[in-house]
Amino acid sequence: MMMQSRRMVLQGLVASSVVIGFDLVDREWVTAANATSRSIQIPGLDGVLYIDDATRRAVADDFGHIIHRQPLAVLQPGSVEDIVRLIRFARQYRIRVAARGQGHSCYGQSQVEAGVVIDLSSLNQIHAIGSDRVEVDAGVLWSQLLRATLPQGLTPPVLTDYLELSIGGTLSVGGIGGASHRYGVQVDNVLSLQVVTGEGKLETCSRYQNRELFQAVLAGLGQCAIIVRATIRLIPAATQVRVFQLFYDNLTNFTYDQTLLISDRRFQYVEGQIVPRDGGGWRYLLEAASFYTPPALPNERLLLIGLNYIRGQELIEDKSYFDFLNRLAPTVEFLKSIGVWSYPHPWINLFIPGTAVVNYIDQLVATLTPADTGQSPVLLYPVNTSKFKLPLFRVPREPIAFLLAILRTAVPPDAATVRRLVADNRRLFESNRDLGGYRYPVDAIPFSRSDWRQHFQPFWGRFVSAKRRFDPHQILTPGQGIF
């Protein structure tokens, strides 16, 4: 069966772990050293297929450090064609495949046991920046994209709080941030996509072309296709940002003011946090930002008028637009330097219906302790759900929903703490679900197939038919546990 010339197979592969075939009986990749007559030859690649332990172990982990599933191999594609070739091969021999952006999800979403991980970080070119759009590879990071568009005075409308996430990774989940109350999530700002389906077909899709595929891929958790390129909307960027931090003791006042701000749109960015109060308990921090380009200046009096924050405690500072968006970078560097960044992260991210948020959060903070968060942030901010246009991005059926993100670090970083926090995530998920709330699925919540069915209602039927059509052999992204 070894029909292709050895030179072609070796092309682009690393000599120390040269994979030349796949053993159908043992279900393992083979090198020249252990190839047998029953080995099926793999297609020639422009990139590298790794089978060494260190590379496979690295992708059997993620930012959560809770789930570990080891693949048989890791593809670093040298081209889009490599992904087409690999998926066609995998489809034929029923090998499961997972795309990995930066592995920043928390519960094994980008992992695959005994399959192949496609590490998109090697596809990282910015192809073209126009006056209102940019065309990029899926492995590009948002920080990289922003550094390229800002010199042209342009920015993506919505950015996540942390910019070292891949474009493919956030477009497969949604991509929410402080500007979402104006522009929806990142998937709402995608003009078109190039994807490789589970059948190994390279397709272009948009609202006007292959719409079913477009809607099944954006926030589609990698189930129907792998995103390889995206064309993303750009808008004019301001150069400066005035950042306001306003403190509240009263939850009702806090959520009322946040809701006011996203309704009257006086700020470009609105988020908020539940923060520890000196002496115990919790209080609330409203974070809002006004973007501007001198000589124009923000009018502080008008921006703060009618708000009920605690006077005298407000913090106001100016930053460059890039430094504001990249504001987590110094904290992340610090956490890495003290080793805490590599602790387990049993995060929970929920969308709570606006009408239920005060009761829900009141009950949460009555029992929440710093041991439950590991001193990590707890985000709470509202969004206008009418801005979300993609069916698979699931939010409550109310005009306002609040994102609650308990960005837990497990301290101490042991299995018992992780178990306790993951069980707590499940409890919090269920009580929110019973109120009409949803989960934002980047986090660590045990989820059954029937949970997923309920999550995607009333679009579950459409999602199932898209899966049947675009990934009929169900090889893509099993780590989500949906199909």
Ligand X SMILES: Cc1cc2nc3c(=O)[nH]c(=O)nc-3n(C[C@H](O)[C@H](O)[C@H](O)COP(=O)(O)OP(=O)(O)OC[C@H]3O[C@@H](n4cnc5c(N)ncnc54)[C@H](O)[C@@H]3O)c2cc1C
User: Using CB under 6 A as the criterion, which residues of the chain lie in contact with ligand X when the complex forms?
Assistant: 62-63, 98-105, 109-110, 120, 138, 160-162, 165-166, 168-170, 172-177, 221-222, 226-227, 442, 477, 479-480
Residue-by-residue DSSP string for 262-321 = HHHT-SSEEEEEEEEPTTSSEEEEEEEEEEE-TTS---HHHHHTT----TT--EEEEEEH
Least Å from the CB of residue 244 to ligand X? 19
For residue 258, give the H/E element and its range.
Answer: helix 251-264
Whether 186 contacts 170, CB under 8 Å = yes
Least Å from the CB of residue 345 to ligand X? 7
Nearer to ligand X, 154 or 167 (CB): 167
Least Å from the CB of residue 292 to ligand X? 23
Token pair 């018992």 is found at 416
Judging by DSSP bridges, how do beta strands 282-292 and 240-248 pair with one another? Answer: antiparallel
Nearer to ligand X, 103 or 272 (CB): 103
Nearer to ligand X, 30 or 112 (CB): 112
Residue type, 194: Q
CA distances from 17 to 55, 249, 457 (A): 11, 59, 45
Judging by DSSP bridges, how do beta strands 378-384 and 269-276 pair with one another? Answer: antiparallel
How far is it, in rounded angstroms, from Cα 360 to Cα 273? 15
Least Å from the CB of residue 147 to ligand X? 17
Least Å from the CB of residue 226 to ligand X? 4
For residue 295, say if its preceding peptide bond is cis, omega within 30 degrees of 0: yes
Least Å from the CB of residue 97 to ligand X? 9
How far is it, in rounded angstroms, from Cα 61 to Cα 479? 12
Half-sphere exposure of 358 (CA within 13 A, CB side): 11
Alpha helices, DSSP H, located in 23-166: 53-58, 80-92, 142-149
Two tokens at 326? 């990249």
Two tokens at 184? 């929806």
For 163, residues 6+ apart whose C-beta sits below 8 A from its C-beta are: 141, 142, 143, 146, 325, 326, 328, 329
Nearer to ligand X, 139 or 298 (CB): 139
Nearer to ligand X, 115 or 353 (CB): 115
Least Å from the CB of residue 459 to ligand X? 18
Nearer to ligand X, 99 or 146 (CB): 99
Nearer to ligand X, 21 or 168 (CB): 168
Report CA 387 to chain centroid distance, whole Å: 19
Whether 352 contacts 419, CB under 8 Å = no
Nearer to ligand X, 20 or 167 (CB): 167
Nearer to ligand X, 221 or 274 (CB): 221
Least Å from the CB of residue 266 to ligand X? 22
Dihedral of CA atoms 18, 20, 23, 27 in degrees, nearest 10, equals 50
How far is it, in rounded angstroms, from Cα 247 to Cα 286? 6
User: Which residues are registered as beta bridge partners of 244?
Assistant: 288, 316
Least Å from the CB of residue 70 to ligand X? 15
Least Å from the CB of residue 123 to ligand X? 8
Least Å from the CB of residue 103 to ligand X? 5
Nearer to ligand X, 116 or 356 (CB): 116
**DSSP strands (E only) in 396-462:** 400-406, 438-439
Nearer to ligand X, 21 or 61 (CB): 61
